[in-house]
Every structure is written in C-alpha cells, then in structure tokens.
Amino acid sequence: MSGGGSGGPVPGIDADAVALYLSRPSLALGVYPASPWAGGSPAGQPVPPGADGDDPGAADARKAGVADPRPGMAGAPETGAADRRELGVADPRELGERLRDAVGRAVGSHRTVAVLHDGGIGATALLVAATAAGRALGAEVTVVVADHPGPDGASVAVATQQVVAALGGRHRFLLAEAARLPGTGPSGSPEGRDTGWNPVAPDLGRTPLVRAAEARAARLGATLLLTAEGWEDVLQAGPLPSLPRGLRAARRQLADRWRAEGAAAVLADATSALGRGARARRLRAGLQVALAPFAEALADTPRVLPPERLAHVEAWTASWVRRLVECLAAHRDPVRAYVLARTARFAGPLPAAVAAAARLPRRSPFLDPAFAAWAVRLPSAARYDERLPGPHLRRNGLLVSLVPRAARHALPAAGPTTGTTTGPVPVAFPAGPAAVVDHPLCRAMGVLDRDAGPVEPVVAARLAALEEWLAGAGRVSRPARTAG
C-alpha cells in the first residue's frame, strides 16, 4: 500500500488524515477531522484566518472535532452592553439585535454581500437581519436563492420571492440552480476547469447548489456570501430541563420533540428531570448521541478503505463518539449540552478556515462566537412558541419571531425530509448503491481499496470530491521545473 503518513503520491499530504474524510462523522455531519496537509497548510501558502492562534484551552476538543465543553463556547468573550443583560430571556428584540450585530461583524468592510437563501426559517431570519445591517453599514445586499424542491415539493424560489416582497426594500434577486452549475462542462473547457479548489482542505460545504450560488454572486460583484448554517443547531428547542409554565405547553413540546427526534429524545428529557448528577448526565448523553443528527454518524465505516486505513478510521470514529459523549455529560444544564453537541461539526478552526478560503468566502452569523455563546445558554422554553401552527414552526418559535408577520406565510411548515445536510444547503442523494469510479489519486494515496464494490451515493460523492482536491493539491505542492 502506498501513500503512508505524509509521504504519499501528493507531496505534503497526510494520507491518514485524508482517510478520515471517509469516516461516518464526516460523511453524515460534515465534520472536518483534520487538515490533510502534513504541516497544517500547503507549502508556500499562508495559514488562513482562524487556522491558528485560537484558544489553546480547547485543544483536546479541537483534536476530537467536538465542541469546546468549557463555559463560553470556545472561550468566546461576550462583549457590549447587550451581553450584560440577563441570559435566557425570550425577547425577540434582543435576538434581533444580537443577530444584526453578528451580521455586522461578518460583513465588516465588504460592500456587496450576498445572502444564500435555501427557503428555510433561518435563511429568512438572516435576510431580515442582513437587510437591517446592510442599511446601517452602507452595504448592498443581494439575495441568491439555492433553488431546490422544498418539503412540500415546490420550488423554494417562489417562497423566497414572497419573503423578499414582504420585506420591502430593493433587493437584487439571483437564482442558482445545480443544473446550470459552472464546472460541469467538457474537460478542458473554461467551464470544466472552474473547480474552485480550496487551498486549506476539501470544502465539504461547497455542494452543487452552493457552487452555483457563489458563481452567480461573484459575477455580480459580491465579495462575501452569508449563509444560515448552524441556525437549527444553535436556536432550535431542545431538551426540557424542567416543565415550562403550563402543563398543556409542556405536553405539546414533548409531543413535538417525539415527532421530530423519536422516543429516545423524550427519554433523554426524562433523565434530565430525574437529576443532574454524573450518572444521570452520562445516561442522558448516551441517549442524545443516539438521536438525529448523530444516528448516521454511528453507522459502520464504508468498506472502501484498505484494511489498514479502515482500522485507523474506525479507531478515530470511536474516539470522536466517546469525546462527544464526554462533552455532553460534562454539563449539568441539558439544554446547553444538547446545543453544544449539535454544533460539534462546526467546532475548531478548520471549518471556518475552509469557508474563509473559498472562491467566494462564506460566513454564518449564527456561528459567530459571541452570538453562539449567548444562544447556547437560552432555556428550552425560550426557544419554543406553542402558539404557532405545526411542530417545525413551534420548535423554532424564537427565530420565527424575527420574521415580519407579512412574510410568515412563506415559511416552510416542515424541515427538510430528504437528503443529507453537510453544508449550507441540503444535499439530496439518489437511492441505491453507486459504482465506484476509478480515482487514481485516492488509490495511490491508499484511501481506496482496489476491490471496493458499489457504495452509497454519499460515499461516491465524497470520493469524487477527494480526488478533485488531491489533484489541486498536487498542482500547488510540486514545484515547477526550471530550465537548465
């Protein structure tokens, strides 16, 4: 087997790190396991913002790819007058203020900003905040719709147009469709060469719809793409540490949680009600790790890896799951533990560094450290609104409150029901096994077994992405030949 450690067919690439991108946490959740560069960054390339210099106290959590279990969510300081207010107050005005502040920090000096809208509640709330922040900062806001079928099967672009019209103002509106994706032309053509290679690591968030959206926005002159990534993980109602006021509201919230995440979610709630001691927290943690979105991350490792790499990936996955349980069990507050676990795939500097180095840099204000440090402390009852119709809207009640009433009719009544989400937009994969295309660099690197048979479509898609990234890494890591 060739391609061990950092001495594989692509100079400077750690084959063991590349193999981890075929682990279940990475495939199912979009977890970035480690930098594939043996030295942490490509030779001759600067280390991107966020790739180093962060809080050294979170090193163990970063290595595991899980959220920092200490107070403050990755040690992020909470600054400003708003941060001195009492935490846990379900005040839509404060939420709106904090989200606008996070948008302002994301926008910075950019003056043409695109907002990626996928038809979801989070994207609509982000558009509201970005519109207000854009006016204050003098930045132009463009709406880029990643068009795909919503939960009801209709195009999300129709609902987005209704939202934009209800918000008023003058927004430029662009439609991004995967069928018109740049980079799908014949090999050798300008379109075929437009891969948008990322110098940091394979860009797991650059799905076909995101690629189409960033291409449309970049042609219009946008220099930043705002996404709503992480909104559900940070703000959706979670466990019930204690019964909210009113037995009727408690029953409805429990019923909604049962429908959304199954009986194990209610059992996890029950363990938190029984006590907050170490044993109860450990039991609760084990139950919560068995819930969405972690269930798929606990599945067997794909059998496309050679035996030696397979053992390495399985050991890393077991360690990742164990550290995730430890992170959950470390908190007496079950809501905070739940939110930290849901944000595990965003932990550490690597995801932010990859997004910053994209062809059109991406930022999610919902993952802003100061905003997340506030949101992680919100009690479950503050996130839930029993007055709204349907479980999906009720469980996201706090965020719905940011959307003007005139636009709420366009919000989806249900969340995505198909596909796997590993980026800012849900990715739908066809059913049934897919053939393994010959990926010579993956084979030479030792991350693809020669006898690999048909695999799941998500695995086939990841192998193709790794092959494309390794080809780009080979171009920058091999010095050009000089005459003489």
123 located within any domain? yes
Rounded Cα gap, residues 460 and 450, in angstroms = 14
Angstrom distances, CA of residue 196 to CA of 211, 353, 359 = 8, 15, 6
* Helices 278-289/307-329 angle, 10° precision: 130
pLDDT, tens only, 361-412: 999 999 999 999 999 888 888 888 888 998 989 999 999 999 988 888 888 8
Q: Please report where in the chains the tokens 């909470």 appear, as a residue.
A: 78
10 located within any domain? no
pLDDT, tens only, 222-246: 999 999 999 988 998 888 766 555 6
Tell me what pLDDT residue 316 has: 95
Residue 290 has pLDDT above 80, yes or no: yes
User: Cis (ω within 30 of 0) for the bond into 293?
Assistant: yes
271 located within any domain? yes
**Lowest mean pLDDT across 102-111, 266-275, 321-330, 458-467:** 266-275
Of the CA atoms within 13 Å of residue 34, those in its CB half-sphere come to 23
Number of domains in the chain: 1
Contact 50, 353 (CB under 8 A): yes
DSSP conformation class of 410: G
pTM for the complete prediction? 0.84
- Closest by CA to 467, choosing from 434, 450, 444, is 444
484 located within any domain? no
Contact 470, 13 (CB under 8 A): yes
Average pLDDT, integer, range 124-145: 90
**Lowest mean pLDDT across 2-11, 31-40, 171-180, 254-263:** 2-11
Average pLDDT, integer, range 42-65: 36
* Helices 278-289/263-274 angle, 10° precision: 170
4 located within any domain? no
1 located within any domain? no
Handedness of CA 72, 75, 80, 84 (dihedral sign): positive
Tell me what pLDDT residue 183 has: 47
**Lowest mean pLDDT across 115-124, 188-197, 301-310:** 188-197
Full domain range(s) for residue 248 = 15-477
Phi and psi based region of residue 339 (left: phi greater than 0; alpha: psi -120 to 50; beta: remaining): alpha
DSSP secondary structure, 1-66, as one string: ----TT-SSSTTB-HHHHHGGGSHHHHHH----S-SBTTSS-TT-PPPTTSSSS-GGGHHHHHHTS
Cα 6 versus chain centre, distance: 28
pLDDT band at 186 (very low <50, low <70, confident <90, very high): very low
Cα 56 versus chain centre, distance: 23
6 located within any domain? no
319 located within any domain? yes
